[in-house]
């Protein structure tokens, strides 16, 4: 029974990764290792890894700095954009403070305009993301990855070779495979862990600066979770929920909690906090490393793409693989592309997969927790 006392502590260790990462970020700066702040899963991390730089997510998920952000930005703007900008403006985020360069992508109008103001605080490089997954879009994205490489070389006075990028591709693919192997434990029924604990690991690994150490840590955790599962089925069978939609974390973890407090369990995260950026590998056999990176990253099924068939493809596979009973689509207030796309996702889930669907529009406040619990209780009861 010793494992039962060990496992919660291990999940908490991943949950603490962001806070512990503040000290790690300072250590990185003390060693003169470049730190690059990023906002999106479209950022090709292999290019930064190839030059020995560390990367960290700057997407904020707290309403702490939103009032300060609203002095410059519209109130009716996505809370993620306002929060991220607010932490940069107020210097309340150590990751932003220690970042030598900020890299953004033109995923949405709000972000790309926000970057213009962000440049007042830090050097910012913006990658022009195509909004269509086409041959022309692929050419544009490949050129943008090359332009990013050239910017990094100039900014940090380094040379990034194609061989270094190939090595970085292998490292990131190993990380993705280890992550998939871990979160696929939730295919088991009953589940071996709650969605809340799974999410701590998904988020926690994004604040691990030593990317090469991640596979070993995840494999060790996977073995411990399986060992406990063989001893005792800790959780009973419950309705199985997949979360899709906008990125979640921090304040929006209230959605996961509301689902699991009301009798269901979250078994899968399709959004970019989960499987969206991890499911596909970079082709290690492609001699053109920039084309290989462009193909992998442009295939991400984000609602900023028009049309967006890859999101449906991923959802179709995950609903089957994880034996999903219902889908919850999380929409951040004023995220227009994901909000508009709820209709097509609802049609797919209800009509094609014959599963229950619910969309939830929320922000980073705690004001809607009561309403969330009421809605989730009714949704789970229906299942």
CA–CA distance, 213 with 215 (Å, rounded to integer)? 6
SS3 325: coil
Helix 162-183 / helix 214-231 crossing angle, nearest 10 deg: 10
Q: How many CB atoms lie within 10 A of CB 364?
A: 21
Average pLDDT, the chain: 94
Q: Which residue has the higher pLDDT, 285 or 29?
A: 285
Confidence of residue 23 (pLDDT cuts 50, 70, 90): confident
Cα torsion 38, 40, 42, 46 to 10°: value is 30
The H or E element that residue 23 is part of is helix 17-30
Span 284-327, pLDDT tens digits = 999 999 999 999 999 999 999 999 999 999 999 999 999 999 99
Per-residue pLDDT at 18: 62
CA–CA distance, 259 with 272 (Å, rounded to integer)? 19
Instruction: Give the angle 38-272-263 at the CA atoms, nearest 5°.
Output: 135
Q: What average pLDDT does the segment 99-122 reach?
A: 96
Q: Which of 67-81, 86-100, 145-159, 236-250 has the lowest average pLDDT?
A: 86-100
Is it the case that residue 2 has pLDDT exceeding 50? no
Is it the case that residue 17 has pLDDT exceeding 90? no
Percent of the chain with pLDDT strictly greater than 70: 96
- Residue 318 φ/ψ, nearest 5 degrees: -70, -35
- For CA atoms 169, 171, 177, 179, give the dihedral sign: negative
CA–CA distance, 144 with 130 (Å, rounded to integer)? 10
**Omega within 30 of 0 (cis) for the link into 190:** yes
Interacting residues of 32 by C-beta distance below 8 A, sequence separation 6+: none
Q: What average pLDDT does the segment 107-114 reach?
A: 96
CA–CA distance, 363 with 251 (Å, rounded to integer)? 8
Span 217-241, pLDDT tens digits = 999 999 999 999 999 999 999 999 9
The H or E element that residue 174 is part of is helix 162-183
Q: What average pLDDT does the segment 44-73 reach?
A: 95
- What distances in angstroms separate CA 317 from CA 254, 271, 279, 314, one per listed residue? 26, 14, 11, 5
Interacting residues of 115 by C-beta distance below 8 A, sequence separation 6+: 102, 104, 124, 126
25-160 has which CATH code?
A: 3.40.50.11890
CA–CA distance, 150 with 307 (Å, rounded to integer)? 31
Q: What average pLDDT does the segment 265-278 reach?
A: 94
Is it the case that residue 281 has pLDDT exceeding 50? yes
Confidence of residue 60 (pLDDT cuts 50, 70, 90): confident
> Exposure string (b/e) for 337-355, b if CB count within 10 Å is 16 or more?
bbbebbeebeebbeeeeeb
Kindly calculate the radius of gyration of the chain based on its CA atoms and give it in whole angstroms: 20
Per-residue pLDDT at 15: 65
Residue 206 CA, distance from chain mean position: 8
Q: How far apart are the first and last CA of the chain?
A: 33
Span 168-198, pLDDT tens digits = 999 999 999 999 999 999 999 999 999 999 9
Do 281 and 263 touch, CB atoms closer than 8 A?
A: no
Per-residue pLDDT at 35: 96
Per-residue pLDDT at 10: 62
Do 197 and 11 touch, CB atoms closer than 8 A?
A: yes
Q: What average pLDDT does the segment 103-121 reach?
A: 96
Cross-strand pairs, 242? 268, 327
């Amino acid at each position: 029974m010793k494992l039962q006392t060990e496992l919660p502590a291990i999940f908490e260790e991943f949950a603490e990764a962001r806070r512990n990462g503040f000290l790690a970020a300072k250590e990185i700066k003390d060693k003169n290792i470049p730190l690059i702040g990023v906002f999106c899963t479209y950022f090709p991390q292999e290019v930064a890894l190839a030059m020995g730089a560390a990367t960290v997510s700057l997407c904020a998920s707290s309403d702490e700095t939103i009032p300060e952000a609203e002095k410059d930005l519209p109130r009716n703007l996505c809370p993620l954009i306002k929060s991220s900008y607010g932490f940069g403006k107020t210097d309340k985020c150590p990751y932003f403070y220690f970042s030598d360069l900020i890299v953004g992508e033109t995923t949405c109008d709000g972000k790309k305009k926000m970057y213009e103001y962000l440049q007042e605080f830090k050097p910012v490089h913006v990658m022009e993301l195509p909004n269509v997954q086409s041959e022309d879009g692929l050419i544009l994205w490949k050129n943008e990855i090359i332009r990013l490489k050239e910017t990094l070389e100039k900014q940090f006075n380094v040379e990034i070779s194609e061989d270094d990028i190939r090595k970085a591709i292998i490292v990131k693919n190993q990380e993705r495979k280890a992550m998939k192997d871990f979160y696929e434990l939730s295919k088991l029924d009953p589940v071996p862990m709650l969605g809340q604990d799974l999410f701590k690991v998904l988020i926690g690994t994004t604040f691990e600066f030593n990317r090469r150490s991640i596979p070993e840590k995840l494999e060790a955790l996977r073995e411990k979770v399986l060992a406990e599962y063989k001893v005792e089925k800790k959780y009973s069978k419950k309705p199985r929920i997949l979360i899709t939609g906008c990125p979640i974390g921090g304040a929006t973890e209230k959605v996961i909690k509301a689902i699991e407090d009301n009798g269901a369990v979250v078994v899968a995260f399709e959004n970019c906090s989960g499987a969206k950026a991890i499911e596909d590998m970079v082709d290690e056999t492609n001699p053109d490393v920039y084309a290989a990176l462009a193909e992998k990253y442009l295939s991400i099924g984000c609602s900023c793409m028009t049309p967006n068939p890859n999101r449906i493809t991923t959802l179709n596979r995950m609903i089957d693989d994880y034996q999903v009973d219902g889908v919850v689509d999380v929409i951040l207030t004023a995220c227009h592309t994901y909000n508009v796309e709820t209709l097509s996702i609802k049609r797919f889930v209800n009509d094609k997969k014959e599963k229950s669907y619910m969309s939830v529009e929320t922000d980073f406040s705690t004001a809607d927790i009561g309403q969330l619990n009421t809605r989730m209780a009714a949704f789970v009861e229906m299942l």
